[in-house]
Amino acid sequence: MKLLSRQNAPSSGHVLFDDKSINQLSQQDFALQVAYLPQHPPVTDGVTVRELVYFGRYPWKGAFGRYSKKDNQLVDEAIEKVGLTLFRDRFVATLSGGERQRAWVAMLLAQQSQCILLDEPTSALDIAHQYELLALIRELNQTLNLTVIMVLHDINMAAKFSDHLIALHSGCVIAQGSPERVMNTQTLKQIYGMDLALFSHPDTGKVISYIP
């Protein structure tokens, strides 16, 4: 994720986006293509939801650009898409963990990038808010035709909400493919270092892992 988001430079080879090395793009051009939410976002004391989402327009406007009616509309639409219209004038710091993450997702939407990178977006959330956030991200992926790349540690959540999985262990790719291909006992043991059992969900038929 740090390579994809340009936090780190590759020691060899290149990371390509649309057949171009991302390190050859200017900071602004990269931000117009890729939006990134780190695992630990910056502190937002004294910032309202609407003000936070406006930060997503920065790559288009620069530090001193004035916001237009279109910017205002895009910000309000992003807030509406994540279900925070009633909270848009609330301080971000006063929101619950799930609401706060949705506010950050709204900021990414306002950036209007083709690709969104999310580094462990559910790490600080309880199970209900994890599901809620991932369901929202999946909906945005499908309705807005966004490419979403995210880091998750819960294989069941990853399998439920993803089209393609890449399983890593100690920095190495040990398996990749559809959730159906990756969700097998041998691969799961390589990932977690322990035996996990599998069963098919009675309603969806999707494979779910559990500790026997």
Q: DSSP for 142-157?
A: HHTT-EEEEE-S-HHH
129 shares its domain with 181: no
Domain membership flag for residue 77: yes
pTM of the full structure: 0.92
52 shares its domain with 120: yes
Q: How many domains does the chain have?
A: 2
- DSSP-assigned letter for residue 113: -
Structural domain including 34 reads: 16-151
Domain membership flag for residue 160: no
Strand segments (E) across 112-201? 115-119, 147-151, 165-169, 172-177, 197-200
Q: Could you read off the pLDDT of 5-27 as tens digits, one per residue?
A: 999 999 999 999 989 999 999 99
- Please tell me the predicted confidence (pLDDT) of residue 66: 84
- DSSP-assigned letter for residue 185: H
73 shares its domain with 129: yes
Domain membership flag for residue 96: yes
210 shares its domain with 147: no
Quick check: 122 pLDDT over 90? Answer: yes
- Please tell me the predicted confidence (pLDDT) of residue 33: 94
pLDDT, the chain, mean: 94
175 shares its domain with 147: no
- For the domain that residue 37 is a member of, what is the CATH number? 3.40.50.300
54 shares its domain with 133: yes
Enumerate helices (H) and strands (E) in the chain, giving the number of each: 9, 9
